Structure formats: structure tokens, C-alpha cells
Structure 1
Amino acid sequence: MSVRVALSLPLDAEQRLAASAAHHGHEVVLRCSGGDELAARLPQLPVELAIVAATPQHLTPRLVETADVAGVRMLVVVDDADGARHAARLGILEPVEGPADWALLEGGRPAPVDDEPAAPLPEMPRTVRRPATVVAVWGPHGAPGRTSLAIALAAELATAGWRTVLADADTHAASVAPALGLLDEAPGFAAACRLAGIGGLDETQLERLAVVPRGARHPFRVLTGIGRPARWPELGAARVEAALAALRGLCEVVVVDLAASLERDDELARDVDGPRRNAAGLEVLRAADRVVAVGAADPVGIPRLLRGHAELLELVEPERVTVVVNKLRASAVGVNPGGQVRQTLARFGGIDDPVLVPWDPAAFDAAVLGGRPLADAAPRSAARVAVRSLAASLVPSPAATGARRGLRRRSA
């Protein structure tokens, strides 16, 4: 069947395909030297398919977005591992292995991605070049999206190549496991805390306790939370401290989902040295290298974030805190929602340069429905792009850490 084709390929491949198109019964209606040039002209022509090389010059974010809007199918051709990684960063899930040829239209081989782990997940090495970075995800009451953001961050860090563990330390309403469709009722983080308390949390035990979300494109390990809130005494401050210390030597990044409450009133009410419900969260905040404070972008969520942020700064140094405003939309904030939110936070909280995550309920609903991270459920979502940039800002650069690979920011 004849197909009207646009090309965004290196010159030699472009000339070869253009010269042989008629022989294979296809029509080349557009030849471009770069992805942005093709994106500008694509909506104006009756193109059914774009054959694109997986290089930064030929495959650009603008081209991916334009092809989606125009309904033009893309055949992305990779020639090496760098090309496969570039395609994956732009949300191209099924590139084909080159060289570019008309035979690929009849079904090419999927391109291998050298950093895509095979199932089962490979064992963690016995030595790690640097202690893990601990990222705590906290937010005030009112469902600002703490758990969704923690899962999305863990997935982005795993996608970048870091050995990542996601731990649920919420002693009030643990929800990482159901959000990822994990049916295991065993509280993995509580068990890890018990073992760490006696010096028994090692690679073998972590492998036994952690769960890997099924179907994740870039798997990460999950230490699930307590299934019943009444089990909160299992997460004592000393045990949590020991668990985090052990995990620092077993992976490269630890993302911890926390409860909203920062209250310490029980310390005043008790005259005995007993367990305290919020001790786990407070200990994580004390030990974390970076703290993500997330609030909802609406007339209720912003005041809650401002009050909670002031309380948070009594526990955590400001330089360790990154403020994230989630669910940003004009329908709840008004015209220019980003500008209004920034101005409000700067004026009333002294918060400069917050990270803004756009309102994308369809993307997050798809993630929850499928029990998958946002990066897998909606790789081209605007919310996913914002989370990815946030993840890149939280983890130290490989040059500073000596790590094998760092996050790369998505090109503009």
C-alpha cells in the first residue's frame, strides 16, 4: 500500500530512501534536515508517516508534539545506544533498529536500549560509588499529591539510571502500594526498619523485602508502608534512622513518602519515653539530603502550604527544601496561574522559584488505573516533563558524586 512519507534523516539516508521510494510504491512528499523544520511544515501537507532518525537534530520535542497533534505516525530509527536513549527520553516507546530502509515499514526490530533493565531486575552490586541521596516528599493535609509525586520522582530517577528505592514511611495513611497496584500486604519498610535496628539489613534482605512494580519500563524497588495505621509503633525514630543509614549503602537514591503531620505535641504529653506516631516522618526529614514540599495550587492548598512550609523550616534548613506547587490550573487560580502562585508564595512565604506541575488529571488517572508511574502511563504529559526536571535538580551531578551516570534535562 502506498504511503505518503516525510523524512527527517541524515543526508545519505534521506537521498537513499528518496531515490528508491517509487520502486517500493511510496511517495516522499517532504524532506527536512531537522526535526523542528519538519514540525513547522508537517501540518500543512498530507503526510501519513514520518521517518525520523533518533538524533537530537532530527528528533526534537517539538516534532513529537506536532506529530501527536496532527495524527501523523512516526517511525523512529535508531543506529546506536545513544539514539535509543534519546528516543526514550522523548517518550518514544517503540523505536526500530536501523539503518533506515523501506523494509522497516513492514515491521522492523525493536531497538535495544542499553540502560533498560530486563526482568527480573538485576541484583544490586556489593559496592556503590557514593552514599545514596535521600529525598523526602512531604506536603500538608488535603491530598496535594505527595504519593503521586513520590512515585513519579522514583520512576524518573530510575529512568535516568540511578539504583532507586521508594520507601513509604507514612504512619497515618500509607498509600504507595495501592497506588502501584501492589497486593503484597507485608509492610516492607517496617520490616527493613526492624532488621536495620539489629544490623541485619543487607543486600540479600533488601532483595527479599522490596517489591518491584510489575511492567515498569525502568524498574525500581519499593518498600511498602504499614497496611494498618495501628501498626505505627513499628516505625520508631531509631529504627528509621538505622534503615536510612543502611539504605544509603545499598542503592543510589532513596525516595521517602511521608505523612502530612509534623506535630510533636505527644512529646510534651508523655512523661515516659514511648513511641511517637510522627517520629518516623520527623526522622526522615532530619536525615534527608533534599526535602520536596508539595502543595496544591488552589485557594485552600496554597494557604495550607504556606503554613506548613513555615512549620517545616523549624525542622529543616531552607537550602534543603524545594517547594513544588502541584495541580496548577487557571480554573482554580485565575488568569496566569503560574505568575499568581509565584507572586503569592514570594510575598507571603518568602518562597522563590517554586517548581510548578501543571494540572493533568487524565495522565495521573491513567497512572493510578494502570498501577504505573506517570512516566510509563503518560510519557509525553506536561506534568511528567515538570517532574522530570524536578528530579534532575534534586540529584547531585555525576561529576560531583563520581556516579556512573546522572540525570539529563530534557532539551527545550
Structure 2
Amino acid sequence: MATLALALDARTEDRLLADILEHGHRIAARLGTAREVVAALDAPATGSIDVVLVSATAQTLGAELLAACDRRGIRLIALASDAAERAHAARIGLHEVLAADAPWAEIEAQLGAGDPSLPEPRPAQPAVRRGGTVIVVWGPAGAPGRTTVAVNIAAEIAALGRSVVLADADSYGGSVAPVLGLLDESPGFAAACRLGGGGGLNRAELERVAERYPAPPGALWVLTGIGRAERWPELGAEKVAATIEACRDWLEYTVVDIGFCLERDEEIASDLFAPRRNAAAVAALAAADHVVAVGLADPVGMSRFLRGFAALPEYAPMASLSVVINRVRASAIGLDPHGQVRQTLRRFGGIEQATLLPHELNALDTAVLEGRTLRDAAPRSAVLAGIRRLVTEELVPGAGQPQRRRMRRRRCGTAR
């Protein structure tokens, strides 16, 4: 059975106390404020806590408590008595919110993640790929354009009539939300990871925590990323893997924007069970069916890209690889920039095929300024044309280019 810490108002606690004990659960602490709960999590006297059950008020629920529970792998459930308390929970990124008058059976159904008697979920086997396709977009340090490419890949897949979700799994600070003009007060991907780690992530929950980017050709779902880098412990390896697998079962395509660093930091850490900063990227690559590697077309960017690209097969053994080189321009490379980039890729990386995107600053600035995709903000841009070819020729099998209907022109003038 689960061990609980309570921070409830007196009326709710009195209503639930008998049911908690009757069903065999243990109460480690009964507290009054969020700070007291955080302190209790580290107190030896309370022992191991599986679930924290709190009222969704500003006094008993805060971002500090949520972060403390995430760092320790403790499930946090809030009981809200009105819409204002639900909004408060959403602002700090907590989506496990039930009504304050919910029956104990409904609350107990949310405790499974904290029940030590239940077996731990078995990790997904990467050799078996069922459901939708997972496309992971990676690039080295130096802002090569990972997010721009990921956003527009997702938009082009949606425009083909395929269902797609764009997930921001960058543990160094997500940027998908501002690029698309979406609010990121409540990171959807972190919320999905929290549910996925407890086995409670399904289609209904994904649609609840995801946002919808409306576009006339085809809308797409978006799981926004963490806005503050210090929240990276919320993106644990098992949680990320479970979330990606849930997305795979949900929609046809999942496009994941990850961070730049592929270092396995277990080798430099003394605590082997502590969360890892780069675990989200490593877990996403392990689950990928296709990896799009993005590099920057200048001497420094190409050097960083080639060094990181060589390690990708180790992290994504089941995935096929596509290469995108961004901002190709003569001012940074010299005469014939396309030829020089292809020669460098072939000589130092053994890469025979790559998508080269020009340095089209006006189109990209317009899209960022308006918070829209290139298809919506600059539909005739050369950058969009390159990404569209990548999608139709490499990422979406059988998509191809739409066949043009031949039109017979009627000749004007006198008949022959």
C-alpha cells in the first residue's frame, strides 16, 4: 500500500482520513503548508513517501513543492474546490488535479504510481516498433536551428493530412512554445512525463495537457517544453520513454525536439541513481525511428556537427538518419557554398546525401515575429521548400509530391 503525506484543509482531511486507513494506506505526515511538506520529504522520521496529497491552494501547493516531488520521484495530487484553485495548479505545471469532494475510490485510483507493492513497469523494447513513427530532431551546440526544423517538419506532416504531435524535450530550456506563439506557463511535456512515469498517461490525458496549433492545411498538437532550465529533473529517462511510447500509440507521427548534449553523465557522477541532465535526449534517441541531424553551415558549426554526428548511431541504433545543414551562405563558407558543404560532409563524415537550407533571414524573422510556422508566415520561402522535400522524400513514406493536373489550353483566335 502507499505511504502518504497530507496537506489538506480540515474538512477534506476529516472526510478522507477513515478511508485512507481503512484501505491499508499509511500516513507519514499531516501538515499545513507547502514548506512544511517540502521539509517533511527530507525528514528521516517520515520515512519513504510515495504520494503527497494536498489542497490546491496557494498555501499548500506551490512550484517549490512540485519541484521537490519531481526530484524525488514522488507523485503529487491536488484537490481543487473551485476553478481558481484548478487554475493555480495549472500555472505551476500540475495537471493531476481532482475535485475536492471526489470520492476516495477516485483518489485511490491515482495512487498506483506510489504503491511499492506494484511491479515497476518494464522498459520499452526498442527492437519492436508498433504504432506511429517517432522522428527526433538533434543538433550540436551553437543554435543550428533544431527547433525551427522540428516545428516546420511537424507542420508539413500535418499539412499532408497526417496526425502529428510536436514534443519539446529539450532539457536545457524549451523554445517550441515561443516560436509558435503559445503560452508555456504549464509545460505540457513535463506534465505528460509526470503522468507517464506513473502509468496514467493515455489519449485523454495527452489531449488535456497538449496544446493545439491551428493551421488551415492541418492543425498539430504541441507538448510545450520547460521554460526554466532548472526544471530539467522532471524529464527523467523512464518518464520520457513512457511519454514517447504513449504518443506513438496516440497519433501517426511524433516529432521530438531534443537538447544538444549527448554525453552520458553517469560516468562523471557519484550517485548512480540521481536524475541525469541529458537523459531526455538519450531516451528520445533510443526510441526514434528516424533522426534528423541539423548542422550550421560555417566552419565552427560544421566541426561541431561532424563530431556529434559520428556518435548518433550509438544512441539511436534502430533509427535511420537524415542530415540538414542550415544557413548555407557564401559569406561564411566562400564561393560555391553548396558544393563546399557537400564536399566537407562527404570527406569528413561519409555523408552522401543532405538537405541544404539557404540563409533566408527575412522569412525566418517573419515567422518568429508572428509566432507561426513558415507555411503560415512565408509559404514561398526556399527554406520551407527544402524542409518540404525532406518530409515528402525521406520522412513520410509514399507522400511524394502532389501530381499536377494537366490543363489543356484552348487556343484563342481563328480556327485552323
Interval of TM-score (by shorter of Structure 1 and Structure 2): 0.5 to 0.7
What is the aligned-residue RMSD (CA, Å)? 1.8
Alpha-carbon distance in structure 1 between the residues aligned to 2:165 and 2:136: 12
Alignment of 1:383-394 (within 5 A): 383-394=383-394
Alignment of 1:260-299 (within 5 A): 260-299=260-299
Confirm or deny that 1:306 pairs with 2:306: yes
Aligned to 1:135: 135
Alpha-carbon distance in structure 1 between the residues aligned to 2:208 and 2:319: 36
**Kindly tell me: are residues 215 and 323 of structure 1, through their superposed partners in 2, closer, same or farther at Cα, counting changes over 3 Å?**
closer
Q: Give the partner amino acid of 1:295.
A: G
Secondary structure class of the residue paired with 1:141: coil
Cα deviations across residues 305-357 of structure 1 (Å, max 9, x unaligned)?
11111122332349611111011112211111111100011111111111111
**Counterpart contact for 2:193–2:235, Cα < 8 Å:** yes
**Counterpart contact for 1:259–1:281, Cα < 8 Å:** yes
Q: Any gaps of 5 or more consecutive residues in structure 1?
A: 1-129, 399-405
**Counterpart contact for 2:193–2:242, Cα < 8 Å:** yes
Q: CA deviation at 1:214?
A: 4.8
Aligned to 1:242: 242
Q: CA deviation at 1:395?
A: 3.1
Secondary structure class of the residue paired with 1:283: helix
Q: CA deviation at 1:164?
A: 0.6
Aligned to 2:350: 350
Aligned to 1:326: 326
**Counterpart contact for 1:166–1:222, Cα < 8 Å:** yes
Alpha-carbon distance in structure 2 between the residues aligned to 1:236 and 1:410: 45
**Counterpart contact for 2:265–2:276, Cα < 8 Å:** no
**Counterpart contact for 1:213–1:372, Cα < 8 Å:** no
Alpha-carbon distance in structure 2 between the residues aligned to 1:243 and 1:263: 22
Secondary structure class of the residue paired with 2:314: coil
Cα deviations across residues 154-201 of structure 1 (Å, max 9, x unaligned)?
100000011010000000021101111112311101111111222222
Alignment of 1:114-129 (within 5 A): none
Aligned to 2:58: none
**Kindly tell me: are residues 180 and 216 of structure 1, through their superposed partners in 2, closer, same or farther at Cα, counting changes over 3 Å?**
farther
Secondary structure class of the residue paired with 2:299: coil
TM-score relative to the length of structure 2: 0.63
Secondary structure class of the residue paired with 2:227: coil
**Counterpart contact for 2:288–2:316, Cα < 8 Å:** no
TM-score relative to the length of structure 1: 0.64
Alpha-carbon distance in structure 1 between the residues aligned to 2:349 and 2:390: 21
Q: CA deviation at 1:407?
A: 5.2
Q: Give the partner amino acid of 2:357.
A: V
Aligned to 2:171: 171
**Counterpart contact for 1:296–1:327, Cα < 8 Å:** yes
State how many pairs are aligned.
275
Secondary structure class of the residue paired with 1:292: strand
Secondary structure class of the residue paired with 1:305: helix
Alpha-carbon distance in structure 1 between the residues aligned to 2:318 and 2:205: 35
**Counterpart contact for 1:327–1:357, Cα < 8 Å:** yes
Q: Any gaps of 5 or more consecutive residues in structure 2?
A: 1-129, 405-416
Secondary structure class of the residue paired with 2:262: coil
Q: Give the partner amino acid of 2:234.
A: E
Secondary structure class of the residue paired with 1:314: helix
Q: CA deviation at 1:271?
A: 3.4
Cα deviations across residues 116-167 of structure 1 (Å, max 9, x unaligned)?
xxxxxxxxxxxxxx71110000000001000011001010000001101000
Q: Give the partner amino acid of 1:354.
A: A
Aligned to 2:224: 224
Secondary structure class of the residue paired with 1:300: helix
Aligned to 1:337: 337
Alpha-carbon distance in structure 2 between the residues aligned to 1:344 and 1:382: 22
Alpha-carbon distance in structure 1 between the residues aligned to 2:295 and 2:377: 23
Cα deviations across residues 222-245 of structure 1 (Å, max 9, x unaligned)?
000012111111111111111111
Q: Which deviates further from its counterpart, 317-326 or 344-353?
A: 317-326
